[in-house]
A and B are shown apart, each in its own frame.
Chain A
């Protein structure tokens, strides 16, 4: 995708969000009177954002195509986001943070280490490293800071 198209899409999205903000706060009452009530300030900011996005969109549309936008490491980014979604979801539904965190950490280490050659020795080392980190987190956060996971 060209940077021009990506920028235009983002401007449209941001204008939509700003419009959503105005719609959300427009009905808020103003018990103290005056020109700026509860919804006044967010509305002003949203209007400013829409104005700026419009200027940006016009400049972009009139400008050159721009370089192609690449997202290097997209596969790893998506895999990491999915792993985080799985971790949060399972933790919320099932519990057992520490075993889940161990699997999460080992999985990520192996995923990222796969940029090179992933040997069984490296998998073992990653597992041991993860176990040590998770144990340290467990000891510090549950026994020193008294956080209940």
Chain B
């Protein structure tokens, strides 16, 4: 309560304004097929340079929350998921929209998203302090293994070829080492280019990886194509009885989403599908799943939003981002010189309390905005790509330049964008690359410091109980990956037009 008293009205207003902008942009970009969460965060990230750290972080978290719900708008209205995470919603959402009303389907989606977001937020608030206190007892060896475990999880749970995901991760780690070595101050892989001494500009990297490469991808389709759908009956209306009918599925989704969000590398895609199948197996009417079931909409939507709070837990307390979205949000922390982790929780209570309160406000704000503006966002779906793509490109260009006022960063972003486009065409993982890039300094520093302190004794990584458990978990995940590889042996490495990140 002392914290609440210490914050003045202007702080609250500016935070509320940042949340509003984040929610609006997130919901809009989440709704527009092809754009989605990562591009929304990427485009807003450069603006955070001029903002207060708390406002910057809240704005990006609002984007994350709102985009998770926004993806469902196009899934329900058009049958095309606005984000990958909204894919499990398509079948039931579309069926309910056609048989009953799109507004009802959007209602199930919004109520469940809100419940999931609040549940994930509550878990974050309850467990952040205890986990941070625990994390303070961890040594460099454990931090190294935690970071590594996140990347192994990305490989193990990825839907694509694990070898290509692992290669993407290796190159992400290498990219993360560009610049001055933090131990010795020696430049590495910077080719005597002064702009590279501080490492690759994060904004150039994410704009290239996500915005430019996605824009190039969108050029593959009919740019003049305009979606057509019935915009009537889009008003969100749900009776109390209908609301309660989706409560059990929403709760299942919230628990699954939060738990999977906490596990680095798993993310919303897995959580949504797992929540869908679990809710189906616990449902009294499983046969209705796939044919317009409210539970079929509620479970994955709740899981998607619960992932956000869950994913923030390891990020804020351990400094380990578990999803690509969180990895980009980590950029806002880096820009403001804040290192997420147990020390931040201990030394910066104002910021952390602000994030907690703001996160809950964001979720409630998402509900209000969704209730009032979902119909409007649905109308935006008719915007053809020939308008969206140049818009994304020009905003990306301006955003990258804004960060350091150097055209070099634009060349860098363009080069990365072309490379990412080609890599995505061949099914490499852009999300794995960016996660590895963000985790690279944490992993390298903990690895080298652990070895220095132990006098080059590599057993330091397995002798402490926590280290041993982490190594065991990684071995299991690697075993799972090898099994997956062997199963796929019959159909290896077919590069294709997989439009995933």
At the interface, yes or no: B133 with Cβ under 8 Å from chain A?
no
Q: Do the beta carbons of B496 and A73 come within 8 Å of each other?
A: no
Q: Do the beta carbons of A108 and B390 come within 8 Å of each other?
A: yes
Q: Do the beta carbons of B170 and A48 come within 8 Å of each other?
A: yes
Q: Do the beta carbons of A38 and B414 come within 8 Å of each other?
A: no
Label chain A's interface by main secondary structure: helix
Q: Do the beta carbons of A41 and B447 come within 8 Å of each other?
A: yes
Which stretch of B219-227, B282-290, B365-373 is in the interface?
Answer: B219-227
Q: Do the beta carbons of A42 and B219 come within 8 Å of each other?
A: no
**A91-114 contact mask (Cβ, 8 Å, vs B): 1 or 0:** 110000000010011001100110
Q: Do the beta carbons of A21 and B189 come within 8 Å of each other?
A: yes
At the interface, yes or no: B12 with Cβ under 8 Å from chain A?
no
Partner of B426, one of A10, A34, A38, A77: A10
Q: Do the beta carbons of A55 and B456 come within 8 Å of each other?
A: no
At the interface, yes or no: A120 with Cβ under 8 Å from chain B?
no
Partner of A35, one of B163, B183, B421, B456: B456
**Complex contacts, B170 vs chain A, CB 8 Å:** 18, 45-46, 48-49, 52
Label chain B's interface by main secondary structure: helix
At the interface, yes or no: A119 with Cβ under 8 Å from chain B?
no
CA separation between A64 and B437, bound complex, in Å?
A: 33
**Complex contacts, B491 vs chain A, CB 8 Å:** 63-64
**Complex contacts, A25 vs chain B, CB 8 Å:** 188-189
Instruction: Give the tally of cross-chain contacts (CB within 8 A).
Output: 187
At the interface, yes or no: B411 with Cβ under 8 Å from chain A?
yes
Q: Do the beta carbons of B188 and A38 come within 8 Å of each other?
A: yes
Q: Do the beta carbons of B492 and A112 come within 8 Å of each other?
A: no
At the interface, yes or no: A127 with Cβ under 8 Å from chain B?
no
Q: Do the beta carbons of A42 and B188 come within 8 Å of each other?
A: yes
**Complex contacts, B220 vs chain A, CB 8 Å:** 71-73
Q: Do the beta carbons of B219 and A77 come within 8 Å of each other?
A: yes
Q: Do the beta carbons of A71 and B414 come within 8 Å of each other?
A: no
**Complex contacts, B447 vs chain A, CB 8 Å:** 36, 41
**A15-43 contact mask (Cβ, 8 Å, vs B): 1 or 0:** 00110010011001101101111111110
Q: Do the beta carbons of A88 and B411 come within 8 Å of each other?
A: yes
Q: Do the beta carbons of A41 and B444 come within 8 Å of each other?
A: yes
Closest residue to A38 on the B side, CB-wise?
B181
**Complex contacts, A29 vs chain B, CB 8 Å:** 184, 186
**Complex contacts, B405 vs chain A, CB 8 Å:** 147-148
With most chain A CB atoms within 10 A of its CB, the pick from B170, B181, B402, B452 is B170
Partner of A42, one of B161, B177, B387: B177
CA separation between A105 and B389, bound complex, in Å?
A: 10
**Complex contacts, A10 vs chain B, CB 8 Å:** 422-423, 426, 495
For window 373-396 of chain B, which residues contact chain A by CB distance below 8 Å?
385-387, 389-391, 393-395
At the interface, yes or no: B338 with Cβ under 8 Å from chain A?
no
At the interface, yes or no: B5 with Cβ under 8 Å from chain A?
no
Q: With contacts A6-B495, A69-B425, A141-B398 known, is A46 near B174, CB below 8 A?
A: yes
Partner of B407, one of A17, A53, A60, A92: A92
Q: Do the beta carbons of A115 and B222 come within 8 Å of each other?
A: yes
**Complex contacts, B50 vs chain A, CB 8 Å:** 145
Q: With contacts A42-B189, A55-B163, A81-B418 known, is A112 near B390, CB below 8 A?
A: yes
| A113 to B: closest C-beta gap in Å | 5
CA separation between A31 and B183, bound complex, in Å?
A: 9
**Complex contacts, A81 vs chain B, CB 8 Å:** 216, 414, 418
Q: Do the beta carbons of A112 and B394 come within 8 Å of each other?
A: no
Q: Do the beta carbons of A3 and B495 come within 8 Å of each other?
A: yes
Q: Do the beta carbons of B394 and A133 come within 8 Å of each other?
A: yes
Q: Do the beta carbons of B167 and A36 come within 8 Å of each other?
A: no
Q: Do the beta carbons of B492 and A3 come within 8 Å of each other?
A: no
Q: Do the beta carbons of B414 and A112 come within 8 Å of each other?
A: no
Q: Do the beta carbons of B456 and A34 come within 8 Å of each other?
A: yes
**B170-184 contact mask (Cβ, 8 Å, vs A): 1 or 0:** 110110010001011
CA separation between A48 and B443, bound complex, in Å?
A: 15
CA separation between A32 and B161, bound complex, in Å?
A: 39
Partner of A38, one of B183, B395, B407, B411: B183
| A74 to B: closest C-beta gap in Å | 9
Closest residue to B426 on the A side, CB-wise?
A10
With most chain B CB atoms within 10 A of its CB, the pick from A17, A52, A66, A105 is A52
Closest residue to B387 on the A side, CB-wise?
A109
Q: Do the beta carbons of A88 and B163 come within 8 Å of each other?
A: no
**Complex contacts, A48 vs chain B, CB 8 Å:** 166, 170
Q: With contacts A49-B174, A108-B389, A108-B393 known, is A91 near B407, CB below 8 A?
A: yes
Q: Do the beta carbons of B224 and A63 come within 8 Å of each other?
A: no
For window 392-423 of chain B, which residues contact chain A by CB distance below 8 Å?
393-395, 397-398, 401-402, 405, 407, 410-411, 414, 418, 421-423
Chain A interface residues toward B at CB < 8 A: 3-4, 6-7, 10, 14, 17-18, 21, 24-25, 28-29, 31-32, 34-42, 45-46, 48-49, 52-53, 55-56, 59-60, 62-64, 66-67, 69-73, 76-77, 80-81, 84-85, 87-88, 91-92, 101, 104-105, 108-109, 112-113, 115-116, 129, 133-134, 137, 141, 145, 147-149
8 contacts between A and B (CB under 8 A): A4-B493, A41-B173, A64-B494, A77-B421, A81-B414, A84-B414, A105-B390, A134-B394
